[in-house]
Amino acid sequence: MDQNLQIVALAGGVGGAKLADGLARVLPSEQLKIIVNTGDDFEYCGLYICPDIDTMVYTLAGIANPTTGWGRADESWRVHEERIRLGSEAWFRLGDLDLAWHLERTRRKHSGESLEAITTWQTRAFGVKPGVLPMCNEPVQTKVITRGQKILDFQEYFVRLQCEPEVSGFVFHNAETAKPLLAAIEAIRAADLIVICPSNPWVSIGPILAIPGYKEALTGKTIAAVSPIVSGKTIKGPAAKMYQEMGITPSAEAVANTYHELISHFIIDTEDAACANRIKSRWGIMTVDTNTIMRSASDRETLARFVISFALGINR
């Protein structure tokens, strides 16, 4: 790839981390910055937990758990099993290896370090080269509004209730007063291409865009999104279910409708090839289909190359 190419990825959890890993495999580390959702962050048993940042770092470090989609590979559950034995409330499972990092992040947080500084330390400790940037240093909390107007903490909805409640909307607490990282804004300004990874548009990309400054910085940039919805379903996570419950038929087209003001390029799965022209003619977004399902490291790399080539018109 072009030596001077600067790419910024916006991502949430599993799907986003896979494409970010693909980008990290095809780009020198100094050419890639990844801005990660922190709306899912929460405090649990006193520990400060950043699920999306951890999924990102573990994925880039090659130690993510391939089965669960969260946590680490070769994990053990000695602490968790004892929590259960004691009769603790343990709906959020904490693996032993995962816990080691939660402890250190929390220690640093309590000693006054910013999430940005902590995340930089984290990437080094885990041997991750590209810059991983939390969307902001302030705590922003994604809340899920249910049909019955109950407001749930995201992890309560996502993990404890297994995405069971019907959603009617979302709020991103404190997003309006949070500030985007200066490093993130500078990376966006310097970027030749912004990649919106196949993450949940509502609760992974939504919180990032809700912070004043990101949308403005993104205006006029070349922005390529990869649809997280394939054949009306999501590979992982509740995005399709959320579209449905908000009264929108889940589809790649629905994702295009969500992002249309923002993106210049859209990558959909070959399964959805039929809607490419409709998206193009409706919003003027350059749309193309390819295999977007990343089963292997090689799939991640192939999709990353495809996105860059398509969005920047580079043929290789």
Shortest Å, Cβ 144 to a second copy: 21
- Give the burial class of 27: count Cβ atoms within 10 A of its Cβ; 0-12 exposed, 13-18 middle, 19 or more buried: buried
User: Rounded to whole angstroms, how far apart are CA atoms 91 and 219?
Assistant: 41
Judged by CB, which is closer to a second copy: 101, or 202? Answer: 101
Judged by CB, which is closer to a second copy: 96, or 301? Answer: 96
Shortest Å, Cβ 95 to a second copy: 9
Strands (E) across 129-166 are located at: 131-134, 141-146, 151-153
Shortest Å, Cβ 79 to a second copy: 5
Q: Which residues bind a second copy (CB under 8 A)?
A: 43-48, 76, 78-80, 82-83, 85-89, 94, 96-97, 99-101, 103-104, 106-107, 109-110, 125-126
Say if strands 32-36 and 131-134 run parallel, antiparallel, or are unpaired: parallel
Closest residue by Cα to residue 115 from 168, 183, 166, 192? 183
Judged by CB, which is closer to a second copy: 125, or 182? Answer: 125
Work out whether the CA dihedral 50, 53, 58, 59 comes out positive or negative: positive
Shortest Å, Cβ 202 to a second copy: 28
Shortest Å, Cβ 54 to a second copy: 13
Judged by CB, which is closer to a second copy: 1, or 126? Answer: 126
DSSP string, 210-250: HSTTHHHHHTTS-EEEE-SEETTEESSSSHHHHHHHTT---
User: Rounded to whole angstroms, how far apart are CA atoms 180 and 144?
Assistant: 22
Shortest Å, Cβ 146 to a second copy: 22
Shortest Å, Cβ 139 to a second copy: 14
| Distance of alpha carbon 198 from the chain centroid | 8
Judged by CB, which is closer to a second copy: 44, or 249? Answer: 44
Judged by CB, which is closer to a second copy: 30, or 82? Answer: 82
Judged by CB, which is closer to a second copy: 104, or 299? Answer: 104
User: Rounded to whole angstroms, how far apart are CA atoms 136 and 124?
Assistant: 19
Judged by CB, which is closer to a second copy: 48, or 266? Answer: 48
Rounded to 5, what percent of the chain is helix, strand, coil? Answer: 45, 20, 35
Instruction: Count CB-CB contacts under 10 A for residue 67.
Output: 9
Shortest Å, Cβ 44 to a second copy: 8
281 phi, psi to nearest 5 deg: -75, -30
CA distances from 183 to 137, 210, 304 (A): 12, 17, 23
